[in-house]
Amino acid sequence: MSIAGKIFLAVERAIKRHCQCMQIFSSNPRAWRHSALEEKDVLEFKSRRQNAHISPLVIHAPYLVNLASPSQEIFQKSIILMRDSLGKAEILEADYVVFHIGSHGGMGAEFGLERICEALLGLLLSAYTRETQILLENTAGSGFFLGSRFEEIAIILEGLAWDERVGVCFDTCHGFAAGYDISTSSGLEQTLASFDKLIGIERLRLIHANDSTYALGSRLDRHEHIGEGFIGMKGFERIVNHAGLKDLPCILETPRMSFEDDVRNLDRIKRLSRV
């Protein structure tokens, strides 16, 4: 949901779409600049959210965050943005902060993964993360981006001594683009078995439910409307009703040209649920 205008208006936008949970950005997703929240707006946000029974609340860190960057300037700016996201999450009483794992920029996976662990270990020492959990989001695997394979996510979690304050957000489009065939029954089972073996299914806290514009293994991060991409309606029906996934919150990041797009996508995925 957009936080344009006043942050509490995001709750009204969620209510209008009949959302049961919601995700917002902590600040402009494509800018380094960020500003503090006004106390009266925070109180109004929390009041409206409580009255609407919207839970969980997810905060997505800006897209510019890259904790794997070889550039010291970008690395430090990314840490500042993450601290801002975590600080706002604590103020707003958000459950999770999701961030994109990042790109090593050609320095190699080992360098990038060590860099991420260094940054997250520092952030976990912060008081901001007492209640809010940090979620690593899997990627499509284009270019030098890390986190498209469960093995890489497991390395990061191991580097953090499997801290309980860190979990995983699985993006369906990203996973499919990275080569995990969640569009079929056998493929979904194999994907979840691999996740459980390498990471532990209990670490999966959130799903970003997006169809994929491109075919399996494309490594292209292009979200599509539910049922209109290569994962398809049958694929999502299996996902939302799977015993290991059906109780997890789903956030849609489907294309939006109008309010009706959101309503249509939400209605489609809710109708698939047999719960």
The radius of gyration of the chain's CA atoms, rounded to the nearest angstrom, is: 18
Alpha carbon distance 209, 152 (integer Å):
21
Q: What is the band of 128 on the pLDDT scale with cuts at 50, 70, 90?
A: low
Among the options 84, 95, 211, 221, which is catalytic?
221
pLDDT value at residue 131? 80
Among the options 203, 205, 208, 238, which is catalytic?
208
Alpha carbon distance 162, 132 (integer Å):
16
**Residue 203 DSSP label:** G
Tokens 């056998």 found at:
186
What's the whole-model pTM score?
0.96
Which amino acid, residue 100? H
- In sequence order, the 6+-apart residues with CB closer than 8 A to the CB of 30 are 62, 63, 64
C-alpha angle 25-27-32 in degrees, rounded to nearest 5: 125
Q: Assess whether 30 carries a catalytic annotation.
A: yes
Task: For 212-262, write each residue's pLDDT tens digit.
Answer: 999 999 999 999 999 999 999 999 999 999 999 999 999 999 999 899 999
Q: Assess whether 18 carries a catalytic annotation.
A: no
Alpha carbon distance 251, 62 (integer Å):
16
Q: What is the mean pLDDT of the chain?
A: 96
pLDDT value at residue 129? 61
Q: Assess whether 34 carries a catalytic annotation.
A: no
Q: Which tokens is 207 given?
A: 């799903």
- In sequence order, the 6+-apart residues with CB closer than 8 A to the CB of 52 are 11, 14, 15
pLDDT at residue 39 is higher than 80: yes
Task: For 170-203, write each residue's pLDDT tens digit.
Answer: 999 999 999 999 999 999 999 999 999 999 999 9
At 128, give phi and psi (nearest 5°): -65, -25
Q: Assess whether 181 carries a catalytic annotation.
A: no
Q: Assess whether 137 carries a catalytic annotation.
A: yes
Among the options 13, 100, 203, 205, which is catalytic?
100
Among the options 93, 163, 196, 253, which is catalytic?
253
Task: For 53-97, write each residue's pLDDT tens digit.
Answer: 999 999 999 999 999 999 999 999 999 999 999 999 999 999 999
pLDDT value at residue 127? 58
Among the options 84, 90, 95, 137, which is catalytic?
137
Q: Assess whether 208 carries a catalytic annotation.
A: yes
Ordered by start, the domain boundaries in the chain are: 9-272
Tell me the CATH number for domain 9-272.
3.20.20.150
Q: Assess whether 53 carries a catalytic annotation.
A: no
Q: Assess whether 171 carries a catalytic annotation.
A: yes
Task: For 2-19, write each residue's pLDDT tens digit.
Answer: 999 999 999 999 999 999
- What H or E segment, with its residue span, contains residue 39? helix 39-52
